[in-house]
Amino acid sequence: MSDKEVLTGGCLCGGVRYRVTERPMGVVNCHCGQCRRFHGHFGAYITIPREAVVIDAQDTLSWYRSSAKAQRGFCARCGSSLFWKGDGEALLDIAAGSLDQPTGLTTLRHIHVADKADYYAIDDGLERFPQGAPEPP
């Protein structure tokens, strides 16, 4: 992989396509109630500096204000859940499932496990945080 186009991804219908030009540390699974509803299960995210994300196609990209401090990006045509953007933050969270394969990434940790749903277990031995965890350095 080149440094300039490390990872690519997009929604189910192709209306939203993006490139990530900086390699993320890995994937973080968020088990909060908002992620669960937004994704239909827990949210698996990579975190990227906003200036390292290029959105090449966004005709169908729509944003939902999910809380007083954040918006969630999704495709208004196919319904794919794509982005989490905190107000005033220099980082963008991208749903790992929307990345084109192979990513070469691994899952790092679980966050907001205090809010996880009751129908699944977390048994992969990775670090767990009851609430959020510090952003990767």
Specify the stretch interacting with Zn ion by CB under 5 A; choose among 17-25, 28-36, 99-107, 122-130. 28-36
* Pattern 73-92, Zn ion, x by CB under 5 A: --x-xx--------------
Report the alpha-carbon distance of residue 126 to residue 91 in Å, rounded. 23
**Shortest distance, CB of residue 79 to Zn ion, whole angstroms?**
7
Residue 96 sits in the site that holds Zn ion (CB under 5 A): no
Residue 13 sits in the site that holds Zn ion (CB under 5 A): yes
Residue 15 sits in the site that holds Zn ion (CB under 5 A): yes
Contact indicator for 78, 11 with CB cutoff of 8 Å: yes
Specify the stretch interacting with Zn ion by CB under 5 A; choose among 10-18, 50-58, 64-72, 86-94. 10-18
Contact indicator for 46, 99 with CB cutoff of 8 Å: yes
Through-space distance between the first and last CA atoms of the chain, rounded to whole angstroms? 22
- E-strand spans in 1-137? 7-10, 16-20, 27-30, 43-49, 53-58, 61-67, 70-75, 81-86, 91-95, 107-111, 127-128
**Shortest distance, CB of residue 23 to Zn ion, whole angstroms?**
22
In the complex with Zn ion, the residue whose CB is nearer, 15 or 51, is: 15
Instruction: Name the site residues for Zn ion (rule: CB under 5 A).
Output: 11, 13, 15, 30, 32, 35, 75, 77-78
